[in-house]
Amino acid sequence: MRGGPSLVNFRWRFLLRSWPWLFLAGFLFFVRWSKGAVFSDVFALISRPFWPGTAQRVWLQNADQLEQESKLHLLERDNARLRTMLGLQASSKSDLVSVPVISRNPRGWWQQLQLGKGSLDGIQQGCAVVAPGGLVGIINSVTPKTSRVRLLTSPGTRIGVWVTRVERHGILLGMGTNRPQLTFLDKDPQVVVGDLLSTSPASTLLPPNLPVGVIQSLDTEALPAPNASIQLLAAPEAIDWVQVQKCKWLESSK
C-alpha cells in the first residue's frame, strides 16, 4: 500500500504532461476527418467584417456593366467595319424618326397603321418601321405630313428573314392574323420552337439584324418545304408610337 499514492501521483503527473500532445493528436485527427472544413469556417467567421459591403458590390456591378457595354461597342464597330467592306450601309440612332400612330382602321386591324409624319420628316416608301421589340412593318405610302404602314401581319406581306441560331433564310408571309407564317427555303432547316428571327445581316432592302419574332410552332411535313407559325416580338395589336428607319438602304441599293 505504500506504493499506492506514489503510483497515483505518477499517473497524474504523466497525464498533466502528455495532455497537450493528446489534444494535438485528437485535433489533427479531427482536421483530417473533416477535410479542413473547420479552418474554412473559422476563417470565414474572422474575415466577415472585411467582406465586400454594399459599396464594393456596386463597384463590381458597375464594372460588369462597363465590360458588357465595351463588348457591345466593339461588336458594333466590328459590324460597321464588316458592312463597309461588303459595301452595305450601317444604321445609327440618328436614322430613326419617332412617329405617333394617329389612326387605325378596325376592318384592317392586322393590315395597316396611319402615322403622323411623312416625307417632310424624311420618311419614304419602303422604310422599315419598328416598335418596342422589333420590326412591325414597312412604309407603304407617304404624303408630306402622314405615312401608312403595311404591317407584317397584313395578307400578302412578304419579307426575307434570318434564323439567327442556325443561319438559315426564310420568307415571312402575312396571314391577316397576329401570327404570320414562315416558309423555309431548305427542306431541313434544323430549327426548333423558340428560335429567334431577324432581318438578314446582308439585307439591302431592310436594316440588318432587326429582331422580328420567335418560332411558336413547326410543321415539318409541309410541302414543298417546312413552315412555322411566328410570334412577333413587337405586338402589332398594341402600338401607340413607332420609329421609322430612314431609307439609306434603298438609296444604297439603287
* Domain layout of the chain by residue ranges: 3-49, 52-85, 93-253
Q: Which three cell numbers stand for residue 243?
A: 420609329
pLDDT of 5 reads 61
CATH fold for domain 93-253? Thrombin, subunit H (2.40.10)
Contact 194, 233 (CB under 8 A): no
How many Cβ atoms from other residues are within 10 Å of residue 173's Cβ? 18
Tens place of pLDDT per residue across the chain (254 aa) = 445 566 556 666 666 667 677 777 776 676 666 665 655 666 666 655 655 555 555 655 666 666 666 666 666 666 665 555 444 444 555 578 888 888 887 777 778 889 999 999 889 999 999 988 889 999 999 999 999 999 999 998 999 998 988 888 899 999 988 899 999 888 888 899 999 999 887 777 788 888 999 999 998 888 888 899 999 988 777 788 889 987 754 444 44
Distance CA 254, CA 238 (A): 35
Query: Are the beta carbons of 182 and 161 closer than 8 angstroms?
Result: yes
User: Residue 8's pLDDT is what?
Assistant: 59
pLDDT at residue number 181: 94
pLDDT at 245: 86
Helix (H, G, I), strand (E, B) or coil at 177: coil
Query: Residue 62: enclosing H or E segment and its boundaries?
Result: helix 54-85
Max CA-CA distance within the chain? 126
pLDDT of residue 38: 58
Positive/negative CA dihedral, 90, 95, 100, 105: negative
Spell out the residues 6+ positions from residue 33 whose beta carbon is closer than 8 angstroms to its own: none
* Nearest Cα to Cα of residue 227 among 174, 175, 189, 176: 189
CA-nearest of 138, 150, 132, 115 to 249 is 138
What is the pLDDT at residue 173?
93
199 secondary structure, DSSP code: -
Q: Alpha-carbon distance 9 to 5, whole Å? A: 6
Q: Which three cell numbers stand for residue 244?
A: 421609322
Beta-carbon neighbour count of residue 147 at 10 Å?
26
